[in-house]
Homo-oligomer: A and B are copies of this chain.
Amino acid sequence: MTTHVWPDEQIVRDLAQFRRVAPLTHCITNIVVTGFTANVLLALGASPAMVIAPEEAGEFSPIAQALLINVGTVTQIDALAMTKAAAAAQKAGTPWVLDPVAVGVLEFRTQIAVDLLKYRPAVIKGNASEIMALAGSTGGGKGVDSAASSTEALPQAQALASRTESVVAVTGEVDYVTDGVQTVCIPGGDVLMTKVTGTGCALGAVMAAFLAVCESPMQAAIAGSAVFSEAAQQAARLSSGPGSFASCFLDRLYLIGK
């Protein structure tokens, strides 16, 4: 398994391209993290657009350069918007990321996430439990284990990637990215990331934005993860707790590679 970290040459080039393009990134995400997600995208150089009404979501995803769907606080009306956005994205060729937050714990959102798979996300990003649950659900099972490490989830992540033809990113102390054949690992990050809400959700949005500029979904997930890990490590060294970390993390995303 190869390891990728900032400043790998390809990742540095991808970030430079990211900033030139400023990908218009359509986000339908949970209400806890909308502001932070937009701020992360802006800090790194993307152009976020939170378009969430069912009347607009399917009109906007074809205009956007990438799409994130995160089911963290999904309601029935959100699910309708997500379906329209994903269907239109697939038709228009807008690449998208699915973040199956807490899938496996609650039936309603699990079904929504499973249904969304048919629109072929380029990347599925979740923690070990979420990926294991989603892998199980699509096969009929129900593997939920919130204490699972990302390593434990690897076999199911690989199986999920093969079955869906999506790249699967399993986040944790170490992140793994797999297309079912190749698997790479991205170490780094900092435990303070787990003390700020929305860091994982924002990473999903960043991976989506990288889809607009990288040559493959695999590379987009790797670049997003590596940039995040490096900025988090830099921020942790300058912080005294999660409040200063969140602020400093945005600064470092803004400054990384400049």
Chain A contacts to B: CB under 8 angstroms? 30-36, 38-39, 42-43, 48-56, 59-60, 63, 72-77, 102, 105-109, 194-198, 239-244, 246-255
Contacts and interface: CB of A to CB of B under 8 A. Distances in A.
B244 A246 contact: no
B240 A255 contact: yes
B242 A251 contact: yes
A28 to B, nearest CB: 10
Contact of A75 (B74, B77, B107, B251): B77
B242 A56 contact: no
A254 B55 CA distance: 39
Contact of A254 (B30, B60, B241): B241
Contacts of A53: 73-76, 108-109
A10 to B, nearest CB: 25
A54 to B, nearest CB: 8
A254 B73 contact: no
A235 B148 CA distance: 36
Contacts of A102: 49, 51
Given A53-B73, A242-B254, 9 more contacts: A32-B38, A34-B35, A38-B198, A43-B241, A43-B242, A53-B75, A56-B109, A241-B251, A242-B251
A195 B254 contact: yes
Nearest to A249: B243
> Max chain B CB contacts within 10 Å: which of A107, A198, A241?
A241
A250 B254 contact: no
Nearest to A43: B242
Contact of A60 (B31, B63, B106, B253): B106
B55 A108 contact: yes
A35 B249 contact: no
Nearest to A63: B105
A32 B120 CA distance: 27
22 contacts: A31-B31, A31-B34, A31-B50, A31-B52, A35-B35, A39-B242, A42-B194, A42-B242, A48-B197, A51-B106, A53-B73, A53-B74, A53-B76, A53-B109, A56-B108, A60-B105, A240-B251, A241-B254, A243-B247, A243-B249, A244-B248, A247-B247
